[in-house]
Each structure stands twice: as C-alpha cells, then as structure tokens.
Structure 1
C-alpha cells in the first residue's frame, strides 16, 4: 500500500512539474504565434488574437489530454501551422485591400480562420475514423519537404515582422540600416543562434524555456543598470505592447456571414489547403517523433480523431488550428510527466490567461518572440532544405527546391500544381528506369512440379531453348513495356528455336493501357516466328485486353506451373517416340538400372496394377510397405493439412518412382498418393525387396543407386527453383 501511495505521489508530482514547465513554453509560443498571426493591419485586434490563441491551446491540450493514446502528450499551436495560418490571414487581407480597405478586418479574418480550422478538424477526424492516415504517406517526400521548407521561411519572415513590424523584402537591409532597426533584428538573430548553439551543446528540452526566461531577465537587467526608463518611447519600441482587454466574445455574427465576400474564397483555396496539409503532416511527423522519444506506440486512429474533434471545437469557439506539439511533449516527458494531468494543467493555465488579461506581455521584448520563431523556422529549413540534400537523390531534391521556391513566389496553389507535375514527371522517369523483367528463364532453369522420367528430362534439356520465360514486375506502362518488347525481340533473334514465350504477371501491380501496345508488337513478332504466347497470373480485369491480343493458339493460364507443364508436354509430344508397353518398361529400367538383366528381374518381382483416375494408391499415415514404378499415367502426392483440406505437393508422370523414401526408411507415409489419370504402375512390395537384398545383392545395389540418383535430381530441382526465385 505504501509503495502504491509513493508511486501515485511520484506520478502526480511529475505531472505537476511537467505541466507547469510545459505551460511556460506554451505561453511563450502563444505570445509568439499570436503576434505572428495578428501583425500588420491586424494589430488593432491583437487582443482577440491573443484570446483565440490561448483558447485554441486550452481546447487542444484539454481534448488530447483526455483522449490521446499517449497520456502525457501536450497539444496546441505549432510553428508550422501558425506560419501557414498567418500566410492565409495575410492573403485574405491583401484581397480585401484590393476590394477597398474595410473598417473591420476582424470578422472576415475570424470567419476564414474558422473555416480553415473546421475543415482541418474534419479532414483529420475522417483520416482517423477511416484509418486512412497512411494515405498521406503516399505524398512524395519532395512535395512534403517543399511545403515544410517554405513554411520555415514564412516563420523566419514572421519573426522579422514581429521585431520590426515589417517583413523581409528586397530593400529590407537598406531600410533597416537607414531607420536604425539593425540592432533589433540583430538581437533576435543573435538569440536564435544562441538557442541553436545551446541545443547542440546541451541536448535538453529545458534549453528553450531557459533561453526565453533568461533573455527576458537579461533585457530588464540591462535597463536597470543602464539607467534607461522602461516607459520611455525609445525603450517601448523594443517591447510588446499589451493589447486592450477582451473577453471571450464572438468575433463575428450571423450578419457578417452575409456580408463576407465569398467570391474571394476560391482564390484562398491554396492557402486553406496549406493549413490542412501542413497540419496533417506536422501531426503525423510529431507523433512519430514522440513514439521514438518515449518508446511508446501511438494509436493513429485515436490521435487523429482526438485532434480532429479539438479543431472542430476550436473552430466553433473562434480558435486556431492546433496539433500535437513535439517540443512541449518532449519537455513534459523529460520533466517527469507521464499522465494526463500534465495536459490538463496546460489547458487550465491557458484558460486562466484568457481571463487575467495580457498586461504581462508589456514586459516581453519583441526580439525574444522574434528570435524564438526565427529559431523554429531555421530549424525547419535546416531539416527539410539543407539536410535533405544529403539524404535524397538530386532529382528529388530539385523537386523539393522547386516546390519551395514556387510557393514562396507564387503561393501554395502554384506549389501544389508544380509539385504534382514534377512529381509525376520524376515518377515516370524513375519508373521507366525500373526493369519490367525481374528475371528470365528457359526450359531447363525452371521446370514444372511434375516429376518426369530420365528420357523426358533429356528431351526437355535438349530443347530447353524452346521455352523462354519472363517474370514481370512493378507497374507496366509505355516506358517499361517498350523495353520489354525490345528485350523479347533480342531473345527471339538469339534463340531461333524458341516456340513459347511465357509471361508471368504475378509481381505486376498494374498495367497501363499504353503497355498493351507493346504486347501487340510482341504478338506480331511471335506470329512471324510461329511462337506461342503464354500469359500467366494476369489480373481478371485485364483478361479481355489480353484476349483481344492473343489468338486461339495462345494460352491464358492461371499459374506458372500449369503453363510450364503445358509447354513441356507439347515439347515431349513432338520429340518423343511412342513404343510398345513391355519394351518401353524394360528400356526405361535398363537405362536407369544399367542392365537389361536387372530390369527383367525387377519386373518379374513387381506386381502390375492398372488404376483408374481418383484411386488412392497409398494413404497418408499408413505403413510404407511398397514402392511404385509408374509406367504410364500420372499420380499426385497430396498432403492433408489439419482439418482445412488437402494440398497437392507435386505430381509424378511416366517413368518415375513414388513411395521410395518411406519404403527405405520404414517410416509411415507422409502423404497420400492418388491417381490423377488412368495409370499403369508396377508395385514392388517390402517382402520382394527383402528377397532381392538376400538373393541378388547386385540388383539391390543397382536399385539403391537408382533411388539415390532420383533423390539427388529432385533435390537439384528444388535448389534450382529456390535459386531462381531469389534472383
């Protein structure tokens, strides 16, 4: 009981410390993101922006604390999501200014923010509810990297805007020097470098809160010892101006909806999409990173549903878009937070700040907030634009860089278009370089699972080049299928005796309509050379397409083994001479035993059995008291798998032997032997074999040598098949 109480106390204290520490960083981020979004023409309404910021943080932290599969997760505004939201607000204001500068920007801005936040929440909830989060992973890496790199620059530009009340432009440096603004921006940049240096030297989540608090204290100590008055106009330019007090009131009414210029909404589609896209990507990346840091698996369904609900509530009450925060969650975990109390504390403190007002922001230097967001933006650019150069191929990096530059110059819509266009081009280029042929084989390298006699094997070995097979792979379209045609053309010129072209589609994941043109060319080539086409494992939805190409002589079969066996049967039928039954039997055994005398003696000791199709020759689990020589027909080796049914292991044709392993080892039969055709077999009983051992050692030695050779051939066949499949 005492241990339990101690554990609860430890968890409670850890959650309290983690929640309070994370709240310090959350407040700093809240002030930063609020000033980022409500800058420029939106400054008169910065109080509403501050309230909306902490409202969004309270809702996101509270919902995720109660619903997340990772109990200690902290949620709220993220640097990337705040940057794209600020970009959306800026684009909206530009459109409104073009229509005539309105007196009240707050209502249209908050309506658009509510729309983007609600849409983001809906998309995230749908991705979670339908377990479709993996769909985001199909977006090409360069497109994601380009989006986030552009977002990093937007954050840096936003940091500059916080410090100087103006963004970066071509005349930025000249203007900064002429108006003595260089000291302010230099302070923010120096702070960003110090934070980055500390994070490299001291790899701790406490670097950020330590840097922010220390910077504020140092700024005030400088004022104290320099004798400057805090209330002087020169000093006030360095500090954040507290917004006028606001309560939690609606920032727009139903009447504002009718007055909103809905015609400009399509032109904002790219920026709204950017909010949704960047939030979804950031949410997934942050969740994956938290899993690695905490070594706990997250349930993406729960995470996406929870943050989706949080964003829907935030849109309803007038907040921004939010997601799981990597920095605050990491800080909470390092401080000892392991339970849901940490997130609840952050939510409560965010709510308290809304009610106590924002007078405390008067004491926060602008360069601290600007330096903080410049640090975040520079970190994103380093990860997605600089480090990526070493990690991805040059053509993918070119796409990433192109998407970034297009977004920065023309906006997100153009970036989306360019990303998709270049992505498609590079995909087609990369896919065309992929060989559509995984490997090739001929009639000797790959055989069917039908065991054949030595005479038939000799025929197949002699005429091995009559079968040319191709295991195809990947997605077939004009670029890859044309290379396939050129390769088939070369093969048919080199193998003049080729009679079968076998194509296996089991590894093909799709066929473009343009690829069928190449198969028509292959068919024309095959027709000119009297070659039969054999298509195997083709998808059912392509049957009609292949049927339109193939002629009656060609085959469209379901398995490669079936196709190879059909080719082998055709080859053997054209090159094998039919003989009388008795002569055929003696010639076979004479060839394999090495003596006509041995063959005659063995036949005299065997019992001839004629069996009908479907007859069970030997039962699985029965005593192995005989082996069988197959003169004609075909037997199948069938294994019973529990109660689920039977599975055919292989088949045995004429001039082969079955049952020899159990016969020699005296073990019970491991499989059943069933006639697949009307067959004639010669059965050698265990008693007759014992008689051979005693009375004719030479025949016994010849028989055992034959069995050893037979087993070695089967082992070689299995090894060749495995080696071919591993190519």
Structure 2
C-alpha cells in the first residue's frame, strides 16, 4: 500500500515537473514565433502595402494563437507547433503585392488595410476547406504524387523570393532596390551578412537553441553598437534601422460592416485567381513539414489527421480574421528538446504569442529591420542550398536540371508558370523514360507456355515439335503511343524471323490501360499478322482496355479469350487440327506393360483393386496428408491449387497418369486438390499396399520403384527444358 502511494506521488510529481517545464519551453518558442511573424509581416506588408502592416501583423499573430492551440491539442504529434510558413508567406507576398496599385495610388490606407486583410482571410478559409476536405476524404496520399523535381524547384524559387524579400525588409524598399541607394546599403548589407552567418552556423549541425540565441545576439549587438555611438531609438527609426510599430495592435475584424464597407471588391475578385496556387503550395508545405517533423523527432504522424487538424484550425483562424499556419519542424523540435514534449508546451507557446504584442506593442520596434531581414535571407538561402544545390547529390543530371529550370521559371515568371513548367518537364521526362521501357514483360513460345489440359504423348510430341511457331507475349504497364509503337516494331521483328509463326498471343493481364494512339498502333498488327498467315489471339482483356481497342476487339478474325490458359489451349487445339491425325493412345494396361513388362504389369494391376468414381468426387485435398497415390485408368480430373483469396486451375489430366506420387513418395502434404470431372476408373496404391509388396513380392516392388524413377527422371528433364525456355523468355526483346 505504501509503495503504491509513493508511486502515485512520484507520478504526480513527474506530471507537475513536466507541466512546469512546458512553460519556459513554450515561452522560448513564443519568442521565436513572434520574431518570425514580424519578419513575415514586414515581407508581405512592405512597399505600397506598408500602411496595412499593423493590421497584417495582428492577423498573423491571431493565426499563430488559434492554429497553435488547436494543433497542439489535436495533432498526432503531441509537441507540434503551428505558425505561418516561409514558403507560403513568399507566395502570399507575391500575390498581395499588386494590391497597392490595384486599389489605387493614394488610396485610403484603411481601405488598403481592409482589402489586404480580407484577401488573407479568404486565402485562409480556402486552405481550411480544401485541406479539411482532403483529410476527411483520406486523400492525403494524393499530395505525394507531385514529382520531386517540381517540388524542389518550386521551393528553390521560394527561397530566392525570401532572399529578395529579406533584403527589401532591411532596406525598406522592394527587393534588391536598396542596392541603388547608398543610404539603404548598410542595413541591406547587414541583413545579407546576417543571413549568411545564420546559414553558416546552423548548417554545421547546430542544436535547436542556436537560432534563438543568434537572433537575440543580433538584437543585443545592434543596440549595444547604437548605444556606444549615442544613437537613440527615434534616430534609428528615422534612418530606417528600426521597424515602425503601432501604439497598439487592433484586432483583425474582417466581418465588421465598417471594415467590409472599405473593401475594394474588384481587387478581391481579381485576387481569387491566386487562391488555387496558395492552396496547393500550402498543402505541399504541410506534407513536407510533417515529414520533416517525423524525421527530426522520430515520431510517426498521420497525414490525413494532420490535414483535418490544419483545415479545422485554418477555418477557425479565418473566421477570427487570422492567417492559417502549418506545423513548423524547427519550432516543434525546439519545443521537444527544451522539455515541452507534451501538448501543454504547444498551448502555452501559442497563448504567449498574444501577450507580448498586446501588453507591450512598443517592444516590437526593438527588433532591428536588418535582423528581420537577415532571418528571411537565412530562410531563403537555406531553401536554395537544400533544394537546388544539395539535391544534385541525390538526383540524376536530367532531374536536377528540371529543378534548376523550375526554380528559374518561378523566379522569372511567377509561381503559377513555375508550377506549370515543372509539371510539363516532369511529364516529358517521364514519357521519355517510360517510352524506352519494353511493353513486353515476358516472351515465350509454345514449348514453354503449354495449356493446362494434359494430352496424349503423340499429341504432346506434335505440339512440342511445332511449339516455336506459337508465340506468347505478356504485355505490361500502360500502353501509350511510345510503348505501343515499340510493341509494333517488336512484333514486326518477330514476324520477320525465318522460322514462320502460326499463332501470336498477346496477353493483357498486366496491362493497366492504353490511350487512343496505342489503340491505333494495335490496328496495324491485324494486317501485319494476316499478311504472314498468323492467327492473332488476345487474352485477359479488361473491359476498359477492350473498349479502347474499338474494332479490333470485335474483329471475327481475331480470337479473344478470357484467360491466358484458355488462349494457349485454343492455340494447341487449332495447331493439332492442322496436323495429320495421330494414332489413338494405347489403353492404360498396355502402356504400363511397355514400361514394366506384360507379366509384371498384370501382377501389379492385380494387386490394386479397380474403383469406379462418379464425377465431382474429390480424390485429394490440398494440405492434407499424402497416404496414397492414384493410377487414373480412364476419365478426367482437374488439379487446382488454393492461395489466399484465390483458387487457380493448374491442370486437367486425362487417363493413363499417376496422381499424387510426389507427396506419397516424400511423405509431404498434398500440394493441390484433385477432383473428377467425368466418371473415372482408377486404382489406389496406399502405403500399406506398398509395404505389402515390398514384403511379399519384392521383385514387383523393385519394378514399381524403377517405374517411378523413370517417370520422375522424365519430369526433371521436362522441368530443365521449361527452365531453359523461361530464361530465354525473360530476356527482354531489344
């Protein structure tokens, strides 16, 4: 009792300690989040949108609070931190930049701020609906279908925009225009140098505390130098070294009638065209951030759940006038490493984000512009390094050039054209590679691919002699103009061989589809085969493939059969019909006499009583014990094997065969189920019968074993020939 009480007390103390540890961990994450958010707001609301900076920052902070709390409570990663994402902010900055001149130069700053805020809110709601819908439909895997070169090039382009935006934030001018004005060059140079320094330090496997300490060090260094030079805050702000900060941050109220009355609705309608791109980039960013958090912390995440959580959080943020957020791998790792490895740390961090701006908004102007710019430059350089430079180590030259091309088009012509260019390049590259692949998985002739119906020795010998005239091609994959034309050329080469073909079978079991160009290519096979006197056989045609083939699927001169085995059986029947008739097979006793001698065969048969069996009788069951073997004197049986969820017909055996001898001799379970199809006459040899023969008639038992050795040696020879044919067929045609 005492030990349980002590254990319970220890558990409560442990929970209390973890709860207390989550507070400073959440506070550290909140400081980093506020700094990032200020940088993002300065990037988006710069230039002509500068009058909307205060309202935009308030919207971003509102999104940090709501998305952060909901993500911390509901994410499959308990220490997840949600905040605005750098890649998405770069897209938003490019999307909102035209608003200043679309609303009109000299427009009312309040109208500009209201229009900008509603644009952010509409983007947030669109993201929420789409991501929430994808999560509810469990369609998260669809997001993974974008080719890697497209994503990498896209993120590389985002990196450049972040670098240029960071320079603009530091200089107070759009992009790199600060280089043209001497008074703007010092803060711009400080931002570029600071961003490069951050990249150099953090790329050397620095810990999660490195970035917060470096940011804090930059702020303290700036104010120490300013104090040493005797420059006060007002002078620094006038010179552009410190950002403007409102006396107070007004709450974003996009649905307030007074606010809606100020909105420029024509501009909003034009902005709606950018929403699909923002949604796409945000969804990709969520997938990549979740994957990054998984890799950094070793915790598995459920992508569909994260889509639902992010979608719901975005809807809540949009309803309150905030900007959507995504899981941040870096800040999630920071929270985890500093002791906030539960949900409380994320909640505390999100709530603390709102306290400092609300209680001390003037403190926001203490962070120098060049520090905010350096943070953006660092993020941009890191994206360029990871996705453009380092990706060369993992990609072929062709795919890496796609990355560079997508990044270049994105930088030169915008995100939409960059995405389109990436998809076009990826599709072209895929078509070029897939078109070089062979549409033929395997190639066999009639000596290897035989039907499942056992035939008399004379018929089998005749079929083996003409087996090379029957060609079977196993097709594969999706057949389009490239692979279909290649197939036509391969068939033409086969028909040009000196050894004439009589039958050509095309098996479509592994074909997933074909386009109209492929269907036209197949129509060229019909006259090509007919001109050589070759019968064309099509097997395993799926309904959608058959519909694509058009007239070829209904041509009476072409045989269409449901399975490959049906097609092979038909070809063998057709080949036998064209050959001179063979002598009928000898009755089973006479065939046995040719192998064992007449007297020995008669004594052997007399030792085993004959049994008449009706059709539908199961003679052997798969996986059961092998206590006997069957000599089928007359009739027909089917041999089927069972696998999980499927029963496959292996062979149809006629009279004069031994069945079940392998398991009987080796003492192994049955490998197949044997069922009579017609009335049969058979003889059973049990283990007791064999023991009796070995004891009472040893000479007869020796003759039986010799017979079995001869039969098994013949089967081994057949298997060797089959393996040789399989190896020839597995060599893909050139």
Fold shared per TM-score above 0.5: yes
TM superposition shift of 1:679:
5.0
Change beyond 3 A, Cα 1:315–1:676: same
Matched, 1:566 2:570: yes
Shift of 1:479: 1.1
Contact 2:162-2:377 within 8 A present in 1 as well: yes
State the shift of 1:31 in Å. Answer: 1.4
Please tell me whether the aligned partners of residues 447 and 725 of structure 2 are also in contact (alpha carbons under 8 angstroms). Answer: no
Q: Are 2:21 and 1:11 aligned?
A: no
In structure 2, C-alpha distance between the alignment counterparts of 1:633 and 1:234, rounded to whole Å: 103
Does 1:459 pair with 2:462?
yes
- In the TM superposition, what is the alpha-carbon distance from 1:290 to its structure 2 partner? 1.0
Q: Does 1:167 align with 2:174?
A: yes
The reply on whether 1:347 has 2:350 as its aligned counterpart is yes
**Correspondence 1:116 to 2:123:** yes
Q: Quote the offset at 1:59 in angstroms.
A: 0.8
Mapped to 2, the partners of 1:27 and 1:640 lie a distance apart of: 64
**What does 1:44-55 correspond to in 2, within 5 Å?**
44-55=51-62
1:406 aligns with 2:413: no
Residues 491-538 of structure 1: CA distance to partner in whole angstroms, max 9, x if unpaired? 122164322222222222221121111111112222222322222222
C-alpha separation between the residues in 2 aligned to 1:531 and 1:112?
Answer: 68
- SS of the residue corresponding to residue 533 of structure 2 reads coil
* Residue aligning to 2:436: 433
> Residue in 1 aligned with 2:637?
635
Of 114-123 and 688-697, the range deviating more from structure 2: 688-697
Residue 556 of structure 2 aligns to a residue in which SS?
A: coil
- 2:558 alignment partner in structure 1: 554
Q: How far 1:691 moved relative to its partner?
A: 3.7
Residue 291 (structure 1) aligned with residue 294 (structure 2): yes
Q: Is the alpha carbon distance of 1:25 and 1:299 closer, same or farther for their aligned partners in structure 2, counting shifts above 3 Å?
A: same
Residues 613-624 of structure 1 mapped to structure 2, 5 A cutoff:
613-618=615-620
Deviation at 1:441, TM superposition (A): 1.4
CA–CA distance in structure 2, aligned partners of residues 623 and 396 of structure 1: 57
8 Å Cα contact 1:54-1:353 kept in structure 2? no
Spell out the pairing of 1:127-142 with structure 2 (5 A cutoff): 127-142=134-149
SS state of the match for residue 201, structure 1? coil
Rounded to whole Å, the distance in 2 between the matches of 1:222 and 1:74 is 34
Which stretch of structure 1 is more off in the superposition, 260-269 or 126-135? 260-269
**Per-residue deviation, residues 64-115 of structure 1 (Å, max 9, x unmatched):** 01111111100011111222112121022243338x8455311111111111
Q: CA deviation at 1:340?
A: 0.7
**Could you tell me whether the CA contact under 8 Å between 2:112 and 2:263 is conserved in 1?**
no
Give the Å deviation of 1:716. 5.0
Stretches of structure 1 that go unaligned for 5 or more consecutive residues are none
Match of 1:481 in 2: 484
Secondary structure of residue in 2 paired with 1:168? coil
- Whether the 8 Å CA contact 1:270–1:413 is kept in 2: the answer is no
Specify which of 208, 219, 222 is matched with residue 222 of structure 2. 219
Paired residues for 1:51-130 under 5 Å: 51-97=58-104, 101=107, 103=109, 104-130=111-137
Deviation at 1:244, TM superposition (A): 3.2
- Superposition pairs of residues 382-531 of structure 1, within 5 angstroms: 382-451=385-454, 455-494=458-497, 496-531=499-534
Give how far 1:719 is off.
6.1
Asked if the contact 1:607–1:684 (Cα under 8 Å) also holds between the matched residues in 2, the reply is no
**Closer, same or farther: CA 206–694 of 1 in aligned 2, 3 Å:** same
Question: Could you report, residue by residue, the CA deviation over 1:398-445 in whole angstroms, capped at 9, with x for unpaired residues?
Answer: 433333333333323333433343333333323222221122111223
1:370 matches 2:377:
no
Instruction: Work out the CA distance in 2 between the residues paired with 1:394 and 1:647.
Output: 47
Using the alignment, how far apart are the partners of 2:138 and 2:300 within structure 1?
16
Normalised to the residue count of structure 1, the TM-score between the two structures is: 0.90
1:106/1:251 contact within 8 Å kept: no
Q: Distance in 1 between matches of 2:588 and 2:278?
A: 81
| 1:658 alignment counterpart | 659
The answer to whether the Cα contact below 8 Å between 1:88 and 1:272 also exists between their aligned partners in 2 is no
| Conserved 8 A contact 2:447-2:467 | yes
- Any conservation in 1 of the 2:625–2:669 contact (CA below 8 Å)? yes
Report Cα offsets for 1:202-251 as digits up to 9, x if no partner.
Answer: 52111110100011111122223334444435875312222232332525
> After the TM superposition, which of the residue ranges 180-189 and 326-335 deviates more from structure 2?
180-189
Mapped partners of 1:10, 1:225: distance in 2: 43
Matched-pair contact (CA < 8 Å) for 1:638–1:647: yes
Q: Does 1:712 align with 2:719?
A: no
User: Closer, same or farther in 2 for the Cα pair 1:663/1:635, shift >3 Å?
Assistant: same
Going from structure 1 to structure 2, the CA distance change for 1:724 and 1:130 (only over 3 Å counts) comes to farther
Displacement of 1:326 in angstroms is 1.3
1:14·1:338 contact (CA, 8 Å) conserved in 2? no
Q: Deviations over 1:7-51 (max 9, x none)?
A: 313422442232122112111112111211221122233221221
Helix, strand or coil for the counterpart of 2:78?
coil
1:446/1:720 contact within 8 Å kept:
no
Between the aligned partners of 2:231 and 2:643, the Cα distance in structure 1 is 90
Instruction: Check whether the contact 2:172–2:178 (CA below 8 A) recurs between aligned residues.
Output: no
Q: TM-score, normalized by length of structure 2? A: 0.89
Secondary structure of 1:556's match? strand
**2:308 pairs with 1:320:** no
Q: Paired residue for 1:32?
A: 39
Picking from 12, 20, 25, the partner of 2:27 is 20
Shift of the 203–507 alpha-carbon distance from structure 1 to 2, 3 Å rule, reads farther
C-alpha offsets along residues 587-614 of structure 1, whole Å, 9 cap, x if unaligned?
74466x3766766665666666665542
Range 501-510 or range 222-231, more displaced: 222-231
Describe the shift of the 1:417–1:294 C-alpha distance in structure 2 as closer, same or farther (beyond 3 A).
Answer: closer
Secondary structure, counterpart of 1:181 in structure 2: helix
Maintained 8 Å contact 1:287/1:326: yes
Distance 1:238 1:468, change over 3 A: same
Q: 1:269 to 1:507 in 2, by over 3 A?
A: farther
SS in 2 for 1:503: strand
2:338 equivalent in structure 1: 335
Give the drift of 1:486: 0.7
Deviation at 1:549, TM superposition (A): 0.9
Aligned residues: 719
TM-aligned CA deviation for residue 159 of structure 1: 0.5
**Per the alignment, in what secondary structure is the counterpart of residue 514 of structure 1?**
helix
